[in-house]
């Protein structure tokens, strides 16, 4: 004998806090997140973009967690072995800065502690952060495989870093050289070009006279950084500039330090900048550095690494760079060498991490020769092996790679992968090796010292798709999961990360690292401003999760947003997500109660189904096929929008309402099987987007279903719905479309005439050839539109004359509503009359305003525009009121 279903009330309201952690733990314990390697199946693989170790989860992380979880859950439900591999980045500079600040508060610093103790402290701190980040990712519902989680400084990825370095070095693609680098004086390290943020600054252009040697004459140069005069080793003109014919080869005396330097000619000089004569400071400007290399000019570095002036600065030694500028200007002025000063707006590099002004300076660093690596990365996108979504970023990617510059990879930090290079103190040669060498590879001396610097953090993340899977070893994971499927990340790190991963992936493995790049947008607040700590407009993800629930947050980040578009995260969007979860809760609760009171026969008998059953099954099938297509095209925002509109706008608002009428009347067939079927299928359709609420509801529903439903443990491992082509029923859609239209139209008329909710109004419907199909729904129309009686006219002529009636012409039907059933005619006339008068006054005042010349010239154009729109809107309202009054007479 079948066991009677246990009476169990679902709570009145959905409380995400009570179910989210329960289900996450359930999924984790069941091992659903770890894919089974099946050589017969093609896996779906995403390697997670690495959150920085520097503290807690922020909204930027939830931006990638959401689409990646959607994709992974979807593919898993489609039966593919789905791997989403999580990881964490050691975040070189950013992390070291945090711990150094802690040390400063404790009255110590890394130098006092020593490298070893300092790194111990860093690891301790990193471990705490790692735990916190993992916990927060889990709260978002991230279904990633924690058994494969990696940290960039773990042994495997670290070995991969050394291996990649050695391979590039052996190919001659890594070199050490003196180049102009971007020096951040605050972070005390070199930065790559990408880590420098260029901002327009209102500065000055200083015109300075350089006296010709042994002559009373001068030539005048213009500069924005007069302190760099101290490092000049030439002045230059363009060889085709006729103004300076005969000057080239002469010498000038450098002001302030009185060094004698030549006048040279070089094509790189822009004759239109300043006076056409430029100063050449090879140690402090990248363009001048190149000129100096061509022309064989010496380099004079004038700065210490804390950006005070060094001994080459003569009497200015010890001054800070900006104090030195003032001192030199004062001296030039006194000597009559400062000709003029002009305001000048120019672009100045700032440190991406700390916003301090970057100092370009010549320094010996390690570089990757990127051009030979870039070409295969360009080809992979051009020949379609890698697709970038949205497509508009393809051009941005190609432009950057075609114009790529060498990548400075050494950083003067302690936290990171130490450069695998040892210098011999005896013969001076280098040993480059994956494992720590015992002796110099050239002379065998054991007197060797490792390079003190570490590698750019992006060097290790560039290997992330293959280093996490075991490269350089030939592992089962690497063979099965590489190349990965999708790289999902923010468009802001297309160059930092995506392009470099493609270059290094191809270089190390000979194969592309992924076939699709999916770029999501950045998060903005309701005013459209980018969320950032500096602006103080950041929402805390944990607070948001607690207030709205993870599903609501995921909904707000996804619904309606096309790939690559920025996301405005606002309270109304979050509320919409929460309301949707509540709506689903309520409808499931209603269904659970109905099953308990009516029994649990939930098998659909396809023959003889009423129109509304055929309609909802048809709409469900169409929604599934559309959603599946959209998911395949990475249109998750649109897919979720369609599921939402189907569930709320068609299922809850119409089908469930009609089903309630049937359940009350007890008329056969019962709508329960269709209710259960559509809800259960839709929950699976929605699961990848809102995993927690769908699991909770699915489990609640499952408990009430017959025993063959109990085999499946979780919605997470149930099959993703597939469209049933046979269910598509255009005739049922047409009839239900007409019924919905009729009810809508009557409800709108009630709203327009402010009919009290308890008042019944009369409606006469003419529906032409659909009349026989619609007639059985007159009860439903009565109940849902509060219209009684509803009469069906056989011929249009039966409609009474147009006086004192409201006639509505719809797509499939016409409706006639006698006015006296809706309103008290006398009162309505008065109401309309008074509204017309008020409306006329408003129109007149707006018209006067828009004729006022003073207003039109002084007000900003958008204000004038708003007033014009208001006038148009008021005029049309007045027109409608007048028509309404005409109908009553
Ligand atoms: Zn900095
Ligand atoms: Zn040696």
How much is the mean pLDDT over the chain? 90
pLDDT band (50, 70, 90) for residue 535: low
**Is residue 831 pLDDT above 70, yes or no?**
yes
Report whether pLDDT(87) > 70: yes
At 3, is the pLDDT very low, low, confident or very high (cuts 50, 70, 90)? Answer: very low
Q: Measure 440 CA to ligand 2 centroid, in angstroms.
A: 5
Residue 534: is its pLDDT beyond 70?
A: no
Q: What is the mean pLDDT of residues 521-538?
A: 73
Give CB contacts under 8 A, 24+ apart, made by 270-273: 270/238, 271/237, 271/238, 271/240, 271/241, 273/222
Å from CA of 60 to ligand 1 middle: 21
Give the best-scoring range by mean pLDDT among 218-222, 289-293, 419-423.
419-423
Per-residue confidence (pLDDT) for residue 665, from 0 to 100: 87
Question: Which pLDDT score, from 0 to 100, does residue 533 have?
Answer: 63
Band (8; pLDDT cuts 50, 70, 90): low
Q: Note the pLDDT of residue 183.
A: 92
- How many CB atoms within 10 Å of residue 229? 25
Q: Hey, is 4 helix, strand or coil?
A: coil
**Three-class SS state of 213:** coil
Backbone angles phi, psi at 97, to 5 degrees: -60, -45
Give residue 481 CA to ligand 1 midpoint distance, Å.
38
348 C-alpha vs ligand 1 centroid, how far in Å? Answer: 14
Gap between the Cα atoms of 182 and 175, Å rounded? 18
Closest CA to 413 of 52, 97, 88, 55: 97
Residue 451 alpha carbon to ligand 2 centre in Å: 15
Instruction: Please give the residue that has the higher pLDDT: either 362 or 638.
Output: 638
How many angstroms does the Cα of residue 591 sit away from the middle of ligand 1? 59
Q: What is the pLDDT of residue 60?
A: 75
**pLDDT band (50, 70, 90) for residue 273:** confident
* pLDDT over threshold 80, residue 887: no
pLDDT recorded at residue 532: 66
3-state class (DSSP) for residue 91: coil
**Tokens representing 5?**
């279903």
Please report which ligand is nearest the Cα atom of 358: 1
84 in helix, strand or coil? strand
Give the distance (Å) from ligand 2 centre to CA of residue 198. Answer: 43
pLDDT in tens, 92-132: 888 888 888 899 999 999 999 999 999 999 999 988 888 88
Over range 162-169, report the average pLDDT.
97
Determine the distance separating the centroid of ligand 1 and the alpha carbon of 182, expressed in angstroms. 10
Ligand with minimal distance to 356 CA = 1
* pLDDT above 90 for 599: no
C-alpha to C-alpha distance for 835 and 376, rounded to whole angstroms: 72
The reported pLDDT for the residue numbered 4 is 46
CA nearest to 635, candidates 511, 518, 741, 762: 518
Distances (CA, A) of 645 to 142, 452, 580, 640: 25, 59, 10, 9
Binned at pLDDT 50, 70 and 90, residue 669 comes out as confident
Query: Residues 363-411: pLDDT tens digits?
Result: 899 999 999 999 999 999 999 999 999 999 999 999 999 999 899 999 9
Degrees to nearest 5, angle at CA 366 with 490 and 397: 30
**pLDDT > 70? residue 803:** no
Gap from CA of 157 to ligand 2 centroid (Å):
29
Q: Average pLDDT, stretch 308-319?
A: 91
Q: Residue 705 belongs to what H/E stretch?
A: none
pLDDT greater at residue 554 or residue 523: 554
Q: Verify cis geometry, omega within 30 degrees of 0, for the bond prior to 390.
A: yes
- Does the structure show a pLDDT above 60 at 7? no
How far CA 183 is from CA of 288, 673, 798, in Å, comes to: 17, 70, 88
Cis peptide before 113 (omega within 30 of 0): no
307 alpha carbon, closest ligand: 1
Which ligand is closest in space to the CA of residue 442?
2
Cα distance between residue 176 and residue 432, in whole Å: 12
**CA gap 229, 220 in Å, rounded:** 13
pLDDT band at 2 (very low <50, low <70, confident <90, very high): very low
Residue 1: pLDDT over 60: no
pLDDT in tens, 740-798: 999 999 999 898 888 888 888 889 898 888 999 999 999 899 999 998 888 888 776 65
Confidence of residue 226 (pLDDT cuts 50, 70, 90): very high
Q: In angstroms, rounded to a whole number, what is the distance separating the alpha carbons of residues 609 and 655? A: 13
pLDDT in tens, 730-747: 999 999 999 999 999 999
- Taking 80 as the threshold, does the pLDDT of residue 39 lie above it? yes
Share of the chain above pLDDT 70, in %: 97
Alpha-carbon dihedral sign for residues 147, 151, 152, 153: negative
**Residue 63 pLDDT > 90, yes or no?**
no
Q: What is the pLDDT of residue 802?
A: 55
Position 800 pLDDT exceeds 60: no
Query: What integer pLDDT is reported at residue 132 of this predicted model?
Result: 86
pLDDT, tens digit (0-9, with 9 covering 90-100), for 330-359:
999 998 999 999 999 989 999 988 889 999
Q: 3-state SS string over 450-461?
A: ECCCEECHHHHH
Q: Which ligand is nearest to the CA of 424?
A: 2
**Span from the CA of 848 to the centroid of ligand 1 (angstroms):** 58
CA of 453 to the centre of ligand 2 (A): 20
Give the pLDDT of residue 600.
64
pLDDT higher for 683 or 869?
683
Q: What is the pLDDT of residues 178-196, one digit of tens each?
A: 888 899 998 888 888 888 8
Buried b (16+ CB within 10 A) or exposed e, 478-491: bebbbbbbbbbbbb
Please report which ligand is nearest the Cα atom of 447: 2
pLDDT at 725 over 60: yes
């Amino acid at each position: 004998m079948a066991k009677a279903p246990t009476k169990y009330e679902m709570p009145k309201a959905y409380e995400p806090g009570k179910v989210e952690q329960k289900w996450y733990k359930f999924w984790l314990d069941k091992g659903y997140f770890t894919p089974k390697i099946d050589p017969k199946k093609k896996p779906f693989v995403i390697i997670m973009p690495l959150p920085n170790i520097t503290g807690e989860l922020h909204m930027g992380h939830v931006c990638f967690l959401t689409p990646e979880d959607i994709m992974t859950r979807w593919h898993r439900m489609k039966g593919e072995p789905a791997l989403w591999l999580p990881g964490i980045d050691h975040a070189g500079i950013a992390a070291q800065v945090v711990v150094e600040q802690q040390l400063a508060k404790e009255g110590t610093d890394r130098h006092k502690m020593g490298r070893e103790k300092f790194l111990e402290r860093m690891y301790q701190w990193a471990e705490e952060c790692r735990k916190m980040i993992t916990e927060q990712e889990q709260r978002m519902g991230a279904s990633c495989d924690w058994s494969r989680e990696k940290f960039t400084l773990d042994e495997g990825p670290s070995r991969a870093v050394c291996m990649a370095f050695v391979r590039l070095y052996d190919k001659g693609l890594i070199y050490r050289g003196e180049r102009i680098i971007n020096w951040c004086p605050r972070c005390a390290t070199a930065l790559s070009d990408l880590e420098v943020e260029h901002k327009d600054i209102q500065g000055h252009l200083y015109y300075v006279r350089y006296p010709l040697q042994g002559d009373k004459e001068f030539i005048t140069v213009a500069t924005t950084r007069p302190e760099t005069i101290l490092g000049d080793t030439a002045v230059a003109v363009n060889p085709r500039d006729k103004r300076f014919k005969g000057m080239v080869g002469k010498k000038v005396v450098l002001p302030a330090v009185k060094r004698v330097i030549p006048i040279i000619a070089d094509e790189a000089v822009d004759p239109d900048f300043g006076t056409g004569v430029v100063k050449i400071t090879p140690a402090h400007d990248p363009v001048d550095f190149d000129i100096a290399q061509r022309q064989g000019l010496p380099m004079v570095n004038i700065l210490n690494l804390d950006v005070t002036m060094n001994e080459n600065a003569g009497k200015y030694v010890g001054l800070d760079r900006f104090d030195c500028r003032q001192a030199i200007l004062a001296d030039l002025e006194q000597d009559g060498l400062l000709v003029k000063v002009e305001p000048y707006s120019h672009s100045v590099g700032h440190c991406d991490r700390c916003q301090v002004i970057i100092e370009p300076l010549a320094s010996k660093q390690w570089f990757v020769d990127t051009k030979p690596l870039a070409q295969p990365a360009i080809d992979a996108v051009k020949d379609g092996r890698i697709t970038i979504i949205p497509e508009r970023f393809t051009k941005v990617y190609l432009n950057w790679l075609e114009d790529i510059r060498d990548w400075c990879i050494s950083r003067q930090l302690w936290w990171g992968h130490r450069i695998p290079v040892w210098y011999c103190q005896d013969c001076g040669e280098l040993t480059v090796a994956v494992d720590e060498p015992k002796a110099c590879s050239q002379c065998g001396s054991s007197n060797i010292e490792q390079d003190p610097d570490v590698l750019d953090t992006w060097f290790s993340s560039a290997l992330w798709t293959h280093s996490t899977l075991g490269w350089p070893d030939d592992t089962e994971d690497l063979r099965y999961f590489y190349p990965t499927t999708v790289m999902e990340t923010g468009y802001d790190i297309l160059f930092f990360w995506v392009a470099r991963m493609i270059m290094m992936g191809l270089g190390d493995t000979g194969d592309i690292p992924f076939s699709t790049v999916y770029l999501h947008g950045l998060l903005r607040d309701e005013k459209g401003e980018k969320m950032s700590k500096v602006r103080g407009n950041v929402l805390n993800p944990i607070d948001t999760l607690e207030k709205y629930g993870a599903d609501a947050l995921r909904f707000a980040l996804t619904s309606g947003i096309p790939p690559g578009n920025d996301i405005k995260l606002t309270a109304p969007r979050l509320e919409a997500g929460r309301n949707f979860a509540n709506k689903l809760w309520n409808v499931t609760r209603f269904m659970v109660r109905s099953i308990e009171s009516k029994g649990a026969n939930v098998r659909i008998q396809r023959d003889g189904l009423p129109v509304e059953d055929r309609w909802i099954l048809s709409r469900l099938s169409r929604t599934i096929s559309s959603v599946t297509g959209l998911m395949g095209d990475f249109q998750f925002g649109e897919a979720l929008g369609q599921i939402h509109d189907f569930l709320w706008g068609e299922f809850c608002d119409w089908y469930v309402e009609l089903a309630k009428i049937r359940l009350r009347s007890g008329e056969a067939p019962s709508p329960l099987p269709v209710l259960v079927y559509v809800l259960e299928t839709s929950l699976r359709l929605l699961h990848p987007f809102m995993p927690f609420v769908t699991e909770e509801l699915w489990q609640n529903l499952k408990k009430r279903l017959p025993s063959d439903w109990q085999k499946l443990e979780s919605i997470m491992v149930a099959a993703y719905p597939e469209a049933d082509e046979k269910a598509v029923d255009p005739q049922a859609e047409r009839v239900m479309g007409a019924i919905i239209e009729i009810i809508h139209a009557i409800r709108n008329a009630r709203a327009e005439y402010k009919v009290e909710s308890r008042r019944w109004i009369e409606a006469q419907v003419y529906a032409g050839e659909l009349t026989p199909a619609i007639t059985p729904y007159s009860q439903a129309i009565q109940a849902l539109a509060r219209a009684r009686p509803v009469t069906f006219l056989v011929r249009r002529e039966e409609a009474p004359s147009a006086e004192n009636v409201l006639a509505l012409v719809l797509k499939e039907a016409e409706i006639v509503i006698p006015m006296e059933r809706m309103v008290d005619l006398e009162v309505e006339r008065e109401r309309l009359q008074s509204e017309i008068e008020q409306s006329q006054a408003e129109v007149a005042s707006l018209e006067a305003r828009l004729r006022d010349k003073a207003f039109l010239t002084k007000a900003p154009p958008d204000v004038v525009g708003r007033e014009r729109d208001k006038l148009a809107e008021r005029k049309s309202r007045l027109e409608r009121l007048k028509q309404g009054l005409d109908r009553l007479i």
